[in-house]
Amino acid sequence: MANASALPDTLVDRFNRRVSYVRLSVTDRCDFRCVYCMSEDMTFLPRSEILSLEELAAVGQAFAELGVDKIRITGGEPLVRHNVMELFQTLGALDGLKELTLTTNGSQLDRMAEPLREAGVRRINISLDSLDAERFRQITRVGDLNKVLAGIDAACEAGFERIKINTVAMKNRNDDEILPLVDFVVDRGMDISFIEEMPLGEIDDHDRAEVYMSSDEVADLIRQRHELVPTTETTGGPSRYFRIPETGTRVGFISPHSHNFCESCNRVRVTTEGRLLLCLGQEHSVDLRQILRDKPGDMLALKQAIVASMDIKPRGHDFNLQAKPVIFRHMSVTGG
């Protein structure tokens, strides 16, 4: 029978990729309904099916003890989860974790930026697809741009080491805002990543293939005004980065379609229901919730399941915008 000493102190999969990064989805709920992420009518999971804050903390601890040094909290909108700050405080105090970070839509940041910083979050990603209030509302269906801008200001004041804006680039939706968004981050000393829309879950707003804008098209637009100097820098995520000379700004591109990043994949995800998902674009998974609930407090069993999961991490995703989505999970359940 396996014991604690038989467990490795790092996670390595069949393709010799070291897994050092976990994205934890803490809720599938959200105060926005972004058109590329959710349908207008969403049914959310019943409370009993989602991991409790204690269960989430145990999952974070198990990964940290297996050599994971970066955890990103995401969702849904993580900051709408009741008492989520307790989780940040617990995870922020974990030994071995170099980085605790967060992806948020920014709607709650005006009141939560400072406590997050105090809990040990040093870098955050804030999603922003438009600087025009009307259009922002169309894309998010309900979002208030001014509230998000106030959140970004609060984050700047709270003293995060790095703030990165995430923008999903969409043809005829926000392609005319690529340059203004770059100016916005340059003015504030922030970074920005442009994301190609991924076919996750059925949506009713648009045909994904029609609004698809490749990272190369976005980069060409930016080059009309700024030089983009390639860097080998990485933040441990899938972005490829460029620097804009004489500014502190890095521009990243997350390009699942045009530049497959699977070969260097170092991450796994845990869904809101506690499914350890080995690849964003495939269904290979392990049910951690069952272990947490069948064997409460059994850290060894949890860690054994995580170690064993490395044998089913797939080589890569198989996204195809022309086909019907094969992945029925919305990004909000998986954790973006």
Phi and psi at residue 115, to the nearest 5°: -60, -35
* CA–CA gap between residue 166 and residue 74 (Å, rounded): 13
Does residue 205 belong to the site contacting ligand SF4 (CB under 6 A)? no
Q: At closest approach, how far in Å is the CB of 266 from ligand SAM?
A: 18
- Report the distance separating Cα 167 and Cα 321, nearest Å: 19
How far is Cα 32 from Cα 265, in angstroms, rounded to an integer?
29
Give, as ranges, the residues between 10 and 39 that touch ligand SF4 (CB under 6 A). Answer: 30, 32-34, 37-38
Choice from 20, 101, 108, 127 touching ligand SAM (CB under 6 A): 127
For the bound state, the minimum distance from the C-beta of residue 138 to ligand SF4, rounded and expressed in Å, comes to 13
Stretch that binds ligand SAM, among 14-22, 63-71, 193-201, 229-237 (CB under 6 A): 193-201
- Give the residue with the Cβ less far from ligand SAM, 61 or 74: 74
- Cβ-contact 104, 125 below 8 angstroms: yes
Q: Does 235 bind ligand SAM (CB under 6 A)?
A: no
Other C-beta atoms lying within 10 Å of the C-beta of residue 259:
14
Q: Does 77 interact with ligand SAM (rule: CB under 6 A)?
A: yes
Q: State residue 200 phi and psi, 5-degree precision.
A: -110, 110
Subset of residues 76 to 135 that bind ligand SF4, contact rule: CB under 6 A: 76-77, 105, 127
Report angle CA 222, 258, 210 to the nearest 5 degrees.
80
Looking up tokens 């707003």 gives 205
Binding part of the chain for ligand SAM, among 4-12, 74-82, 289-297, 317-325 by CB under 6 A, reads 74-82
Q: Does 151 bind ligand SAM (CB under 6 A)?
A: no
Contacts (Cβ under 8 Å, ≥6 apart) of 45 = 28, 272, 273, 333
CA–CA separation, 72 and 124 (whole Å): 9
Q: Which stretch binds ligand SAM (CB under 6 A): 14-22, 44-52, 103-111, 294-302?
A: 103-111
Count of residues in contact with ligand SF4, rule CB under 6 A? 13
Query: Is 288 a residue that touches ligand SF4 (CB under 6 A)?
Result: no
> Mask of contacts with ligand SAM, 1-40, x by CB under 6 A?
-----------------------------x-----xx---
Contact at 8 Å (CB) between 100 and 69? Answer: no
Element (H, E) at 100: strand 99-104
Whole-angstrom Cα distance, residue 94 to residue 257?
Answer: 35
Residue among 106, 43, 47 at smallest CA distance from 79:
106
- Binding of ligand SAM by 238 (CB under 6 A): no
Question: Residues in contact with ligand SAM, total (CB under 6 A)?
Answer: 19
User: Are the C-beta atoms of residues 217 and 275 closer than 8 Å to each other?
Assistant: no
Nearer to ligand SAM, 94 or 169 (CB): 169
Q: Any alpha helices (H) in 66-189, and if so which ranges?
A: 84-92, 109-118, 133-140, 145-158, 178-188
Residue 227 in contact with residue 220, Cβ under 8 Å? Answer: no
Answer with the entry of ligand SAM, ligand SF4, none that 152 interacts with (C-beta below 5 to 8 A by kind): none
Cα distances from 240 to residues 185, 193, 255, in angstroms, run 17, 9, 8
Residue type, 191: D
166 touches, from ligand SAM, ligand SF4, none (C-beta below 5 to 8 Å by class): ligand SAM
Among 100, 116, 119, 198, indicate the residue that binds ligand SAM (CB under 6 A).
198
Does 332 help bind ligand SAM (rule: CB under 6 A)? yes
Nearer to ligand SAM by Cβ, of 68 and 165: the residue is 165
- Footprint on this chain of ligand SAM (rule: CB under 6 A): 30, 36-37, 74-75, 77, 103-105, 127, 166, 168, 195, 197-198, 200, 331-332, 336
- Footprint on this chain of ligand SF4 (rule: CB under 6 A): 30, 32-34, 37-38, 75-77, 105, 127, 331-332
